[in-house]
Amino acid sequence: MKIVVASNNEHKIKEFKSILSDVELLTLKDIGFTEDIEETGDTFLENALIKAKTVSEYLKNKGLDYDVLSDDSGLCCVGLNLEPGVYSHRYGGDVSFHEKRMKLIKDLEGKNKEAYFMCTIVLYHIDGTYEYKEGKTYGKIIDKELGDTSFGYDAIFLSDDLGKTFGEATEYEKNKVSHRGRALEQIKELIGR
């Protein structure tokens, strides 16, 4: 079985392939999809569906009968009324993730630092029907970067499950408790039916 992952994000694709190792996953690059998809939804589900539908239409036009996996995820901070949420990637504007992390630390000064990562994954079928699963992982935002700083907010998110930041965690440790990992484990059951 082949399924298209509606992403070109290498970190994300690596996580998908690690957890869904029994499925042949194709990336957007593999299918020749190059357009930018504007995520205009107000929820993680809406954004995941926008991506899934767009890629599914592209596949239909190419005569390819593949289901599509699409996700949207973000960081929700209690002290910021669950922001940045669906705007996590755009938080602070067009700046590096280091700058986004520094802005978040500053914005949370004197506020509740509890947070969770949320992920919604859609399995979009060829016939236009879809199923979705959600995953969450809880922790708190710390005021300095620890570990690998190459991916999102991982270096400042201290995981309740691991007792260290996602930036300090191994890939295996993170996949076991991450929001995306938890959603993918549920999606795996849908694919395996």
Which pairs with CB-CB distance under 8 Å and at least 24 residues apart come from 22-29? Answer: 22/192, 23/191, 25/69, 26/2, 26/66, 28/4, 28/55
In degrees, rounded to 5, the angle at the alpha carbon of residue 46 between the alpha carbons of residues 44 and 51 is: 95
Nearby residues of 58 by Cβ (< 8 Å), 6 or more positions away: 31, 33
12 contacts 169 by C-beta, under 8 angstroms: no
What residue spans of the chain are helical by DSSP H? 10-19, 28-31, 44-61, 97-107, 171-177, 179-191
**Active site members:** 72
Length of the chain: 193
CA distance 159 to 132: 24
Q: What is the pLDDT of residues 157-178, one digit of tens each?
A: 999 999 999 999 998 899 899 9
Q: What is the pLDDT of residues 102-126, one digit of tens each?
A: 999 999 999 999 999 999 999 999 9
- pTM for the full model? 0.92
Average pLDDT, the chain: 95
Lowest average pLDDT, out of 5-19, 44-58, 60-74, 118-132, goes to 5-19
CATH entry 3.40.50.300 includes domain 2-191:
no
CA distances from 68 to 55, 71, 88, 147 (A): 7, 10, 23, 33
120, 153, 121: which is closest to 139 by C-alpha? 153
Calculate the CA 182 to chain-centre distance: 11
Q: Predicted confidence band at 11 (pLDDT cuts at 50, 70, 90)? A: confident
56, 45, 182: which is closest to 122 by C-alpha? 45
101 contacts 166 by C-beta, under 8 angstroms: no
Orientation angle between helical segments 179-191 and 10-19, nearest 10 degrees: 50
